[in-house]
Structure 1
Amino acid sequence: MTTDDAALAPVRFGVLGASKIGREKVIPAMRASPLCEVVAIASRDEARARAEADALGIAHAYGSYEALIADDDVEAVYIPLPNHLHVPYTLAAAQAGKHVLCEKPIACTAAEARALRDLPPGPVVAEAYMIRHHPQWRRARALIAEGAIGAPTHVHVSFSFFNRDPANIRNRLAYGGGALLDIGGYAIMSARLLLDADPVRALAVIDRDPDTGVDREVGGLVDLGAGRRLTFAVGTQRAPGQWVRVEGKEGDLVLDAFPFNARADVGNRIRVVRAGEECIEEVAPADQYRLQAEAFCRAVRGEPAARDALTGVDSALVTLRTVDALFRSERTGAFETVG
């Protein structure tokens, strides 16, 4: 928190849904920051909303999402609902004059997300890609910009976990489940951040669960133009793991200490290999959810630089267009244009 931050009134948040990421990560991070105040939570089950409010120290509980959105004391809405509900409630909240921080993906398809472009200009609407606020990612980008590995040409990403529970929203096709929407966006965002470019075409090989129909393993090749590319593998039914490797013309940069699910109490590291020598740079612990919430609050309070640091609707659309192209490639077996 900076001296300037001390002059900012905290943003009053309402939370739609009692999801695990909200309960365990985002709400505690918000409550730890003087820039945020979580004043309400809603569930379709009012008893559950009340129980979660009591457990998390939140004053108001609602038995419907609409009732929370109508609360005049709520300035901003955090949405960790299942993917297929993101656009409807982002629209409802923003049209009611609320600022919106929505979990990724902000929509299931680019076509669905385009409705968000027509929102009134006042509310801040952002997709919750918390990694871009973590110091390890900011430092990795700075190292690449400084020429630590020469011109970057290739990003490799692997991200996986094991979950075969058919009742889990990640395994429900109608809810926007599957590996590509759940964690594939991290691979795409990694390339966009580290190569400073956007995808132009994409190719995918996808394996689907025979029982649920969701994509459980996705291998992709994404062309970002000018000789820059992303290769990735994301899976929801294999051993947990995550790493990012950037190849440059003069060396490599590796993030292999939880680049996506960084713990707030454990430091991270960046490995740079150049001319046969390895340099390891330690990164101090940081709560990326708190940093994300604080950037959002600064944007709400009118700081242009903070708004630029968020993942807005236009940026979200780039990632979703890439996801759409990868799914089209599943059907055609060929490169598909991102657009």
Structure 2
Amino acid sequence: MTQKVRWGILSTAKITTDRVLPALKDCNFTQVDAICSRNLVQAQKAATLLGIEKAYGTYEELLNDADIDAIYIPLPNHLHVEWSIKCLEAGKHVLCEKPIGLSSKEAQILLEAAKKYPHLKVMEGFMYRFHPQWIHAKELVNQKWIGDLKVIQSFFSYYNVDPQNIRNQAEIGGGGLMDIGCYCISLSRFLFDAEPLNVASNIDYDPVMKTDIISSGMMQFANGVSSFTCSTQLVPYQRVNIIGDLGRIEIEIPFNAKPLEPAKISLFKADEQKDVFFDITNQYTLQFDAFSKAILDNTNVPTPLEDAVNNMKVIEAMFASDKEKCWKNINGA
């Protein structure tokens, strides 16, 4: 029998019940043994629905379960660092949803805490990087199929005006940049394999909820530029274009690739176009198995925490650029 990592899920958040847990049933190295909520009935209901053995009514009970190896954290953004550290202190590996925290300072605190537990793995959950469409796109960029990478354009939006939704609560890290703009920033750093030198942004805020609702940003890299728009109050849409001096790659559904349909990217060079399709897969399944395999083999996680810190630095610089109406250096200048 294949050895598996025993997981506990910290909360019954919608992303957990609707997207993540169904995907984990197909994992090779991951099994979910427990779920918790601050409402025991809610935890029990989720456990019954999803076939999970144990349900707890407090987060602490889950962390004290000696049979759990790793914890997945889909809590609101302001709780990510606090509970990641508590999981480490309880001897658990941690996969925490993006963004890793509310600031680069918070992310750095987690990074320093993680260094005290070198035997434990910690990673920020950017699941898109594990989908074959992104792996192939990255390979094409590295192989210079498009020539030299010069420009990245990305767009990510949805429509949500519910003031009770955590994504619309500014005080706990809501807003478009933290929720989905972080993807546009992450993929740009991923493809350029570098940190941006300077950034600029223009941000519109909801007058009542005070969250950023339409954010457009630009990142200057040493060898090119990336621009994006993200929004929590526009028609749902997403797309990424990766452009070089010889070709272009267009990713049709870059972030929420459909788990029950083949993914497609389109390649353009000269007067030719070719569509590349990928077998049906679930990027959450791939992410959890990659993390679990790192635990079982005691190897480095696919994306180190330093990457999470650096992504937060760019997000902060975007907010600062809009506030000060100027380009901002990533180091704060």
The interval holding the TM-score normalised by the smaller chain is over 0.9
> What CA distance in whole angstroms lies between the structure 1 residues aligned with 2:246 and 2:298?
38
SS in 2 for 1:211: coil
What is the number of equivalent residue pairs in this alignment? 328
> What CA distance in whole angstroms lies between the structure 2 residues aligned with 1:66 and 1:114?
24
SS in 1 for 2:326: coil
User: 205, 209, 233: which one pairs with 1:208?
Assistant: 205
Identity %: 37
> What CA distance in whole angstroms lies between the structure 2 residues aligned with 1:94 and 1:31?
25
Segments of 5+ residues of structure 1 without an aligned counterpart are 1-5
Counterparts of 1:84-233 in structure 2, within 5 Å, are 84-118=78-112, 119=114, 120-226=117-223, 228-233=224-229
User: 314, 328, 331: which one pairs with 1:336?
Assistant: 328
Please, what is the CA RMSD of the aligned residues?
1.2
Which stretch of structure 1 is more off in the superposition, 42-51 or 158-167? 42-51
User: 7, 10, 14: which one pairs with 1:20?
Assistant: 14
Segments of 5+ residues of structure 2 without an aligned counterpart are none
Normalization by structure 2: what TM-score?
0.96
Instruction: Indicate if the aligned counterparts of 2:81 and 2:100 stay in contact, CA closer than 8 A.
Output: yes
> What CA distance in whole angstroms lies between the structure 1 residues aligned with 2:261 and 2:328?
40
What residue number does 1:301 align with? 296
What residue number does 2:278 align with? 283
Which stretch of structure 1 is more off in the superposition, 323-332 or 193-202? 193-202
> Residue 323 in 1 paired to residue 308 in 2?
no
- The one-letter code sitting in structure 2 at the alignment partner of 1:313 is L
- The one-letter code sitting in structure 1 at the alignment partner of 2:217 is G
Instruction: Indicate if the aligned counterparts of 1:97 and 1:122 stay in contact, CA closer than 8 A.
Output: no
Counterparts of 1:254-265 in structure 2, within 5 Å, are 254-256=250-252, 258-265=253-260
- The one-letter code sitting in structure 1 at the alignment partner of 2:31 is E
The alpha carbon displacement at 1:276 in A equals 2.2
User: 242, 246, 252: which one pairs with 2:242?
Assistant: 246
Which stretch of structure 1 is more off in the superposition, 142-151 or 71-80? 142-151
> What CA distance in whole angstroms lies between the structure 1 residues aligned with 2:274 and 2:25?
37
> What CA distance in whole angstroms lies between the structure 2 residues aligned with 1:117 and 1:146?
32
> Residue 314 in 1 paired to residue 310 in 2?
no
> What CA distance in whole angstroms lies between the structure 2 residues aligned with 1:22 and 1:138?
24
> Residue 57 in 1 paired to residue 51 in 2?
yes
SS in 1 for 2:100: coil
Which stretch of structure 1 is more off in the superposition, 32-41 or 317-326? 32-41
Runs ≥4 residues deviating over 6 A: none
- The one-letter code sitting in structure 1 at the alignment partner of 2:297 is G
> What CA distance in whole angstroms lies between the structure 2 residues aligned with 1:134 and 1:251?
22
> What CA distance in whole angstroms lies between the structure 2 residues aligned with 1:98 and 1:308?
15
> What CA distance in whole angstroms lies between the structure 2 residues aligned with 1:111 and 1:302?
31
SS in 2 for 1:147: coil
